[in-house]
Amino acid sequence: MSAQTYNGDMLVGEIIRMDSRNIAILESAGMGCVGCPASQSESLNDACMVHGMNSEAVLAMLNGAE
């Protein structure tokens, strides 16, 4: 895991570019479309809302708290 601190306002594509291992984390959380074009312009909060996911839980996974 990267030492970066991720937040819900970051774009999904940015989170992936920062550390490609985040793809597996996002997919394991239930976000199966990390490669879709929307990931380049959609914040993590927005993507979680669209997919019915809890953004705080996903952020905890990305930040290594889970």
Q: How confident is the model at residue 8 (pLDDT cuts 50, 70, 90)?
A: very high
pLDDT tens string 12-45:
999 999 999 999 999 999 887 777 888 888 999 9
Q: How confident is the model at residue 4 (pLDDT cuts 50, 70, 90)?
A: low
DSSP class of residue 54 equals -
User: Does 6 score more than 70 pLDDT?
Assistant: yes
Q: How far is CA 3 from CA 7, 18, 33, 37, 42, in A?
A: 13, 10, 24, 26, 23
Identify the pLDDT of residue 32.
79
Q: How confident is the model at residue 65 (pLDDT cuts 50, 70, 90)?
A: low
The C-alpha atoms of residue 11 and residue 23 are separated, in whole angstroms, by 13
CB atoms within 10 A of CB 26: 23
Q: How large is the angle between the packed helices 22-29 and 55-62, nearest 10 degrees?
A: 150
